[in-house]
Amino acid sequence: MKTAAALLLIALCCAAGQAAAERNLSAHRPAAAKSAIAAARPLSTLGSTSLHLSALDPADVEAMRAENAQSGLRALKLGAVRDLASTPDAGSAALQWHAVSGGQVAQWRIVADGARALRVELSVRQAPAGMRARFAAEDDARRPMEARLPALGTLWSPVIEGDRAIVELFAPEGADTTQVSIAIAKVAQHFWSPAAAQVGAAVAKSASGGSCQMDLACVAPSDPALARAATAVSRITYVSDGYVYACTGTLLNPGDGSFTPYYYTAAHCIHDQEAASSIAALWFDAADGCGGTQARSPEQTAGGAQLLVADVGLDGALLRLNEMPPEGVVYAGWDSLPVAAGTGIVGIHHPEGGLKKVSEGAAGPYADARFVSAAWSEGATAPGSSGSGLFTAIEQPRADYLLRGTLIGGNSACTGGAPSGQDVYSRLDQMWPKLAPYLSAHAPDSNFTGLWWDPAEPGWGLSVQHQGGVIMATLFGYASSGEPRWYIASAMREQADGDFRGDLFEMSGPTFGTTPWGQAVMRNAGSMRIVFAGPAAARVEFSIDGATFAKDIAPMVFGATGRAVCSFTEGSRADAKNYQDLWWNPSESGWGLAIAHQGDVLFAVLFTYDEQHRATWIVGSEVRLRSDGSYSGELYRTRGSAFGSDEWQPAAATPVGSITLQFSDGESALLSYTIDGRTVRTPITRLVAAPSVPTCR
């Protein structure tokens, strides 16, 4: 018979310093295996609910244009956001559903007077499993862009050209459309389209003499390494504080070889998760010749991104794109050493949100030593260039261009056909200690504690607690009935190859809140293996009752500061201000609370048992810091696709109560929660099973 403490270890269990300088070369991701892709089904013509938006106020448009013309920070305003929260026809109750092959569809038709482009934000409160949204310009309805709806939350559309857009909801056969609660929350109304076909601007020493901007195509033929690096650079459009903006950013090559889509830009462009979630990136947007026309329509990857690092003081932001970039894009190389004054530099950017340009010049000192200045001999930057990369060339071991910083702003301009002024760039070497956990090839002290998931399959996850050479992992997902279930790998030991492996157990125990608490029971249900490709990428393989599954996973990111970075300590954590860990009550083994902590928000998963004593879990997805120092938020019960489903359907979330956490210090707290009218209050502490435990920041 196991003791209570031992049972928990089997059931529910069963730093900072300057990073070493590194550099990494650019690389192409290996091409994915080709597969047959079904042609996109044109949008339905069975009828729509109409929404009509008046034109933006001309005075507001002129004010935005005037702001874009100023020197300084070089994000580019493209338009304003219209809030439709109080518009009756913007809600799903106004939709008319029509039967089509495989299910039902309903549409909104949006007309925005004078708009050059639109983006639409959908707010999802309830959606049947398998529901999808599709977006198209009204005059191009045969080529819709499709997106999977979240179980709960918001989704921004890709950029839709023109002033007329169609938003179509598709509910699969058998779905109850009376349970749909989706609304058009906002529309970003553009006075300039970032996706429209363009003609290359005049290049250096052009006949007009009015511009010194230099198309990539002017220099790429004689410099293949530069042409290669330039494909890593894209425009981004995003929504922030009531406006829609354009900036530039660069896809980076992580040192661990994982090809995780890390994307680097300026923090004054993207500094919170709300803006990151709205990102759409446009790739391959360059002229077909020096001063020529647009070579091809840009390829969009919408779906937003996870904000990993945002340092407003140093003006650097690292994101992880939720969608993989298109094939043919290069992952740029980088160098974490400082750039010496006088070094030749190249800027690759999208001024005015337009076609890709190149600036050439030399680095210089800046009054604030945290930054570097750039004086251009060819080309200049402009609004829309913000966040673009500063590159330096190398010849060995092969010709390449390495990222060294990102554009903050400046006053460079084309004066009489020649560049003048100077720009200011952030320094990658200053940001490197915060970037190293993601980009470094060497992470000897990595601690993987936290919540992991597959962003493409929201609704299930893996709680990881890393102590010494052992990982305790709780897999939470759904049974074949759709009901929430969890399994525990209590002692996954590190192997010689760096993988973690161990048995996987199914639990049963007392109904939550039972007093006095009884004993949990376990059975061996299978096994689990986790292969970490770095601090932000892994693959989990698990078997449950003979069925085997494998999934690529990443840390869950939901807070404004990005994911917490964890390391090991053997000291006290009483002064810790980050509570990411697995918590429990030592006198009630068999249940626990997994907490991920980012900024002022906790994501909490309560692992416990239902009335039938089966393992169940409840989630608090937004447990926020309150003025009294406590954290509180709603609790949800979810239903979703069974473990390892090939066709994952979005989970459905139902509010069932609330949770409050009052931390007395970094090692103890009072947990209070209410589920279905039953209230529980209990002290909890961090679970400790080894001398070396996680500490996160």
For position 14, what pLDDT does the model report?
36
Indicate the burial class of 454 (C-beta count within 10 angstroms; 0-12, 13-18, 19 or more).
Answer: middle
Which residues have a Cβ under 8 Å from the Cβ of 462 and sit 6 or more positions away? 451, 452, 453, 473, 474, 475, 476, 530, 540, 553
The answer to whether 525 and 489 have CB atoms below 8 angstroms apart is no
Residue environment code for 405-421, b if the CB has 16+ CB neighbours within 10 A, otherwise e: bbbbbbebbbeebbbeb
Mean pLDDT of 293-300: 79
Mean pLDDT of 206-227: 77
Q: How do residues 59-89 score in pLDDT, each as one tens digit?
A: 999 999 998 888 777 789 999 999 998 898 8
Asked if the model's pLDDT at residue 207 lies above 60, the reply is no
For position 3, what pLDDT does the model report?
32
Mean pLDDT of 81-100: 90
For position 166, what pLDDT does the model report?
93
pLDDT interval class at 269 (50, 70, 90): very high
- In DSSP terms, 466 is beta-bridged to 471
For position 143, what pLDDT does the model report?
82
* Alpha helices in 42-111, H assignment, sequence order: 58-69
Residue-wise DSSP of 395-445: -SSS-EEEEEEEEEEE--EEETTEEES-EEEE-HHHHHHHHHHHH-S--TT
Indicate the burial class of 203 (C-beta count within 10 angstroms; 0-12, 13-18, 19 or more).
Answer: buried
For position 204, what pLDDT does the model report?
31
Q: Of 440, 444, 406, which Cα lies nearest the Cα of 567?
A: 444
Q: How do residues 131-154 score in pLDDT, each as one tens digit?
A: 889 999 988 888 888 887 876 788
Mean pLDDT of 103-116: 94
Indicate the burial class of 367 (C-beta count within 10 angstroms; 0-12, 13-18, 19 or more).
Answer: exposed
501 to 386, 497, 541, 572, 684: CA distances (angstroms): 45, 11, 9, 29, 28
Find where tokens 């200049």 sit. Answer: 380
User: φ, ψ for residue 92 (rounded to 5)?
Assistant: -65, -20
Residue 374: both structure tokens together: 């750039």
Asked if the model's pLDDT at residue 200 lies above 50, the reply is no
Asked if the model's pLDDT at residue 99 lies above 60, the reply is yes
For position 615, what pLDDT does the model report?
97
Find where tokens 């530039």 sit. Answer: 248
pLDDT interval class at 111 (50, 70, 90): very high
Q: How do residues 568-583 score in pLDDT, each as one tens digit?
A: 898 999 999 999 999 9
Q: Of 115, 87, 287, which Cα lies nearest the Cα of 202?
A: 287
Find where tokens 């979703």 sit. Answer: 640
What is the C-alpha separation between 609 and 506, in angstroms, rounded? 12
Q: Of 629, 607, 441, 530, which Cα lies nearest the Cα of 14?
A: 607
Asked if the model's pLDDT at residue 19 lies above 70, the reply is no
**Taking the CA of residue 674 as centre, how many other CA atoms within 13 Å lie in the half-sphere pointing to its CB?**
9
Whole-number mean pLDDT of the chain? Answer: 87
Q: Of 121, 110, 112, 146, which Cα lies nearest the Cα of 37?
A: 146
What is the C-alpha separation between 377 and 371, in angstroms, rounded? 20
User: φ, ψ for residue 354 (rounded to 5)?
Assistant: -100, -155
Mean pLDDT of 331-359: 93
Does residue 682 sit in helix, strand or coil? strand
DSSP annotation of 99: E
pTM to 2 decimals? 0.67
Q: How do residues 447-468 score in pLDDT, each as one tens digit?
A: 899 999 988 788 999 999 999 8
Q: How do residues 421-432 score in pLDDT, each as one tens digit?
A: 999 999 999 999
For position 5, what pLDDT does the model report?
32
Residue 426: both structure tokens together: 């952030």
Q: How do residues 396-435 score in pLDDT, each as one tens digit?
A: 889 999 999 999 999 998 888 889 999 999 999 999 988 9
User: φ, ψ for residue 458 (rounded to 5)?
Assistant: -65, 145
For position 35, what pLDDT does the model report?
36
260 to 34, 302, 321: CA distances (angstroms): 20, 16, 9
For position 32, what pLDDT does the model report?
53
